[in-house]
Amino acid sequence: MPRGAIDYGARRLAKLNAQQASLPASERIMNRTDWDKHISTTVGVLTRQAHENAKRAFIETATASAVMICTTNEEAENYFRPGGTPFTCKVLRIFIEASALSRSGTIEEVPSRISLRRLLTYLFGAARKAGNPVQPAIRTNALLWVDNELIRRGLAHATPRAKPTAIPQDITTFLKKLFDVQYMTTLASTRDVLLIALFVCITVDCSTRVSEIMRPSMSAENLVLYKREHPQKFFTWSCVELFAFKTDNADTVYLQARLTFRDVKNTTRPNHQHSKTIPLRNLPVDMASEDTLFWLIVLGLIDKVFVGTESWSDFDRLKPGPNGLRVFRTPNRDMKTSKDDPISNEQMGSQSMVIHLNNLSRFCGLKHAMLPNVLRRSSAYILATTTSAEERRARMGHSTSDSVYWFHYRNKTSTTDVQGLRHGLQTEDVSRMSSIFLEAGDRTPPDRVSDAGMKAIKEDEVAANLLIEQSEMADQLVTQHRSLDQAQVASPDDHKRYVQARNKYHRRVSFLTESTFKKEYRAFFADHGVVVHERDLPTLAISPQRLVDSSVDGVDIADDPDPDIDSQEVEAEETNIDAAMTGLVTALAEDETDTHDAATLPNNLAISQSSRSFAPRATARYSLLDQVPDLLYNQKESTTHASLSAIFTDLFNHLHCADKFYPNQEPFPGTFECRFCGYHFLDLFSSADRGFSMAHRHADDCNADVSAEASPQALRDKDTKAKTTCPLGRLDKHQNMAPCWFKITGFQPLFDHPPQIFVSMADLRIHAINDHNAVSTLLKGHTPQGSIAREETIYFCHFCQVWIARAEEFEETHLSGHRDDLKDTLSSNGVAGLYYSNHWCQPGFCPFCVYNAGLSVVQRMHVFTNEQYLKHVAAHLKPDPTGDLTSHPTSGLTPDPTRSCCPASQATPELLPRCAVTSQMTAIELAEHLRTDHKLNVKAPAPALPEASSEPGAPAKRRKQSERKPLNELDANRGSEEAAPAKA
């Protein structure tokens, strides 16, 4: 070392020695073994959570009564203590076999070898972290047990998961399905639609993984640790840089963005943090549905991310220079402004997004879900066909020698028309053959009996009787001999008869299963225009053990004195199947290798194959997002980014489902407060289980009150030509509020009085001023407080789903315009309608009233509340109709009060019959018919009690239960009566 030079190595060494000397001996890391131990026991949050899950699975499985590796949790916990009970090959084999038997797979019915090996690997990690590592030889033996024995026995499979690649047209179709109103209304909030669209677009355009965009789903405690371990992993607004540029039009600017993803996986530099920056531009407005930057800016406008910008038009006021102008963000966007603010800036978890993509894929009818890895493969496909290999590797994070693209990301089906190129013809688009939407929505031929078919088999009367017969015989044998095994020894003849009865039941079920399957198989192809012949029918896999008991005390089933499968007469087609099944049973009975009993194994024929069909919930007639498809795919020529973003900023900023509220009753965008009174709906969630339902009812009541309060003023001011009745009240001679019967002519009972009909609103207003003093005093009403009843001034139209003031349009006039809507509603939903989330999604009508042509249009199309609806329908079933139709709707019955036909089977001048049952039924039969065929859960009327008679010997009239006194009151009275004389 030159003279005068500073020895930096000695300085660092002295600093290290001093630092180590200041630490306790237990905390020094100078020992290499201790350092290795520190490295091996330090794991990330996700790995630690996986270790805990594997440990919990082992303890639960080991202590299960069917496994019994350990008898108590304490013994199982000892496997995860330093120097505890060592893992052995036998213990691990029992654990992993029990896990395979208790788990179901996603590719096949059994779990995959990769899932089971991963479970063992995490279990090894948990044991190593706890200080009780599994020996290497035992680890290897357990993993080989999965690969060899479990796969050979069919408890696991090695089938790789299909990895489809979506082509660009698939992304367009997928997003178009997302913006389908039927799907959007199933999401918890309209904001979710925006988040899903943004995720799909940003994944494809930026070639990102789900972990680079969204946080993993974990507990709040683990999330804090994960943020500490990966501070740069989260994709937040700090990763977005927005710039404005000049355009030829001086009134507008052009927006571009730069997105930076940090701490991403990169095979070119393993074990090093890597970042990539992707530019984004605005697409034409007619392609807004697939424009990543458009959805990103809409989200920023909703969350007020950009300084001084609340709408897209505010960008046009910017004055960028020749090199562009940065659009600055509001600071501290990661902080919530209020603890009660329901809008959270936290990202949606990756698990939630995967669930949304799965549901959307099922809605599309896809056989392979459009998950994040499929979207990333789509991006790789686009890059490989349009850019250089270097650009693809840079965006995807692949090294030059990495073959992951060719094995996992490249589309397996070619998209090039080689035939056209070879023959010099015009090439055609053959990419549809590699589309993920190929055969989407089409069902596959059934391979098992459907759920409906199995339900019919279980309800078969013959099979039910056979089951009862064998159950009674089994009960008798168990009662006499304590068990069936002892009965076989003590009374072999009785046991034989029991087994024969049981086999008859199983043969009957097997016969019904086979015939039902063939009918459903033929019906499937008949829907596609294909006639299936007998030779084309597949053979349903029926285990011999599930059909018969081959040997009972050395006697074959062929010697059964009553071998008939079905004692009743069957059709010709079923007879042929019966004969075939009988031959099969006989052949199986002669098989000497079949020594199992028919009831010892589960009947897999009773399990229907699960489908990926999407079952959307009931949706309302109108929702907030009804106009979204037209805004995106049927745009007007005047549509601009500014006008489109202004609409979506409001539509996608609601914190509830799109159809949870009636039109114009939902909270204002970005809030969860009643738009009429300002009540915060979050209080309903803390006080009631049905928060959304209560919020809808609150908003509906508030809207009705506001409309009712405005109606009297409209009554004074408006002069609408229409007909109405007087909605006001009057004081009778007892100074009580009573309905107004002004200008009634003739003498009739009160309930038959026809209300006065006025020619115009001017006539009604004059009547209100002259007779009710409406100008100088408050309008009288039907409530004790003297206010006007809102039902008299407004009414609710369940077709328009809005409150309408009678001063604007009268109910009879308005409902007359909905005759066509009534036909459509009855055709699609029947009379029962659709009632969901505490409101009518589709109105339901009384079948007795709506098909009664003698009633007014208001009475026929009246919609009750859900509580009164079934009571009203049930009142029609009473056998003694009295009174008018409004208060006693039983006049819809036929003149014979004991029998009636279904009201929906009768035609009216406007409505066609909707029911094919035209026979006369009693009240009980009609109630059952309404429940079964019309989905009306009405109760049959109870039989009337006999009337009291004064004749000698007649039974006394039963006393009402309400007139009885409790026993404790009787005892108290009796005691007081006895004590009275003594006191005197």
Contacts of 557 (CB under 8 A, 6+ apart): 503, 548, 549, 550, 563, 585, 586, 588, 589
- Which range, 83-87, 530-534, 564-568, has the best average confidence (pLDDT)? 83-87
- Of the listed ranges 47-56, 274-283, 446-455, 475-484, the least confidently predicted one is 446-455
- Of the listed ranges 157-166, 763-772, 805-814, 903-912, the least confidently predicted one is 763-772
Asked whether the predicted pLDDT for residue 797 surpasses 60, the reply is yes
Tens digits of per-residue pLDDT, 44-98? 788 888 999 999 999 999 999 888 899 999 999 999 999 899 999 999 999 999 9
Give 528 or 729, the one with higher predicted confidence.
528
pLDDT band, residue 976 (cuts 50/70/90):
very low
Query: What distance in Å separates the CA atoms of residue 761 and residue 715, rounded to the nearest whole number?
Result: 7
Query: Which amino acid appears at position 621 of this protein?
Result: R
Give 479 or 587, the one with higher predicted confidence.
479
Give 554 or 846, the one with higher predicted confidence.
846
pLDDT at 738: 64
Q: In 3D, which of 143, 131, 139 has the Cα closest to residue 40?
A: 131
Asked whether the predicted pLDDT for residue 734 surpasses 70, the reply is no
Could you tell me the fold of the domain covering 168-332+348-409? hpI Integrase; Chain A (1.10.443)
pLDDT at 576: 37
Give 966 or 395, the one with higher predicted confidence.
395
pLDDT at 945: 52
Query: What distance in Å separates the CA atoms of residue 67 and residue 92, rounded to the nearest whole number?
Result: 12
* Mean pLDDT, all residues of the chain: 74
pLDDT band, residue 761 (cuts 50/70/90):
low
Alpha-carbon distances of 487 from 342, 467, 468, 630, rounded to whole Å: 68, 19, 19, 74
- Of the listed ranges 9-18, 233-242, 862-871, 975-984, the least confidently predicted one is 975-984
pLDDT at 41: 54
CB atoms within 10 A of CB 277: 12
- Average pLDDT over every residue of 810-828: 84
pTM for the model = 0.69
Query: What distance in Å separates the CA atoms of residue 679 and residue 677, rounded to the nearest whole number?
Result: 6
- Of the listed ranges 265-274, 747-756, 836-845, 848-857, the least confidently predicted one is 747-756
Give 415 or 610, the one with higher predicted confidence.
415
Asked whether the predicted pLDDT for residue 249 surpasses 80, the reply is no
Query: What distance in Å separates the CA atoms of residue 55 and residue 138, rounded to the nearest whole number?
Result: 18
Asked whether the predicted pLDDT for residue 483 surpasses 60, the reply is yes
Give 466 or 30, the one with higher predicted confidence.
466
- Average pLDDT over every residue of 254-273: 75
Query: What distance in Å separates the CA atoms of residue 758 and residue 756, rounded to the nearest whole number?
Result: 6
Q: Residues 243, 327: contact at Cβ < 8 Å? A: yes
Asked whether the predicted pLDDT for residue 586 surpasses 50, the reply is no
pLDDT at 943: 60
pLDDT at 331: 75
Give 399 or 261, the one with higher predicted confidence.
261
Alpha-carbon distances of 603 from 229, 261, 424, 510, 804, rounded to whole Å: 51, 53, 59, 9, 59
Q: Residues 615, 362: contact at Cβ < 8 Å? A: no
Q: Residues 642, 208: contact at Cβ < 8 Å? A: no
Asked whether the predicted pLDDT for residue 292 surpasses 50, the reply is yes
All structural domains of the chain with their residue ranges: 36-152, 168-332+348-409, 451-606, 719-817, 828-933
Asked whether the predicted pLDDT for residue 606 surpasses 60, the reply is no
- Which range, 454-463, 598-607, 747-756, has the best average confidence (pLDDT)? 454-463
- Average pLDDT over every residue of 439-460: 77
Beta bridge partners of 658: none
Q: In 3D, which of 183, 190, 182 has the Cα closest to residue 668?
A: 190
Q: Residues 832, 841: contact at Cβ < 8 Å? A: no
- Average pLDDT over every residue of 937-951: 61
End-to-end, the C-alpha distance of the chain in Å comes to 127
pLDDT at 974: 35
Tens digits of per-residue pLDDT, 626-649? 999 999 999 998 999 999 999 999
Q: Residues 198, 292: contact at Cβ < 8 Å? A: yes
Tens digits of per-residue pLDDT, 338-357? 334 444 445 677 888 999 99
Asked whether the predicted pLDDT for residue 219 surpasses 70, the reply is yes
Between vectors from CA 14 to CA 13 and to CA 18, what angle results, nearest 5°?
A: 115
Query: Which amino acid appears at position 580 of this protein?
Result: A
Query: What distance in Å separates the CA atoms of residue 14 and residue 11, rounded to the nearest whole number?
Result: 5
pLDDT band, residue 966 (cuts 50/70/90):
very low
- Of the listed ranges 370-374, 751-755, 766-770, the least confidently predicted one is 751-755
Alpha-carbon distances of 657 from 192, 193, 468, 796, 852, rounded to whole Å: 9, 10, 49, 22, 37
What are the φ and ψ backbone dihedral angles of 444, each rounded to 5 degrees? -100, 155
**Considering the chain, what percentage of its residues have pLDDT values greater than 70?**
68
- Average pLDDT over every residue of 712-734: 57
Contacts of 741 (CB under 8 A, 6+ apart): 753, 755, 756
pLDDT band, residue 778 (cuts 50/70/90):
very low
Residues in the chain: 984
pLDDT at 773: 54
pLDDT band, residue 217 (cuts 50/70/90):
confident
Query: What distance in Å separates the CA atoms of residue 52 and residue 165, rounded to the nearest whole number?
Result: 35
Q: How many helices (H) and strands (E) does the chain have?
A: 37, 16
Asked whether the predicted pLDDT for residue 298 surpasses 90, the reply is yes
Alpha-carbon distances of 228 from 155, 349, 353, rounded to whole Å: 41, 17, 23
Give 309 or 568, the one with higher predicted confidence.
309
Query: Which amino acid appears at position 911 of this protein?
Result: L
Query: Which amino acid appears at position 556 of this protein?
Result: D
- Which range, 194-198, 489-493, 684-688, 844-848, has the best average confidence (pLDDT)? 194-198
Dihedral sign for Cα atoms in the order 234, 237, 238, 240: positive
pLDDT band, residue 743 (cuts 50/70/90):
very low
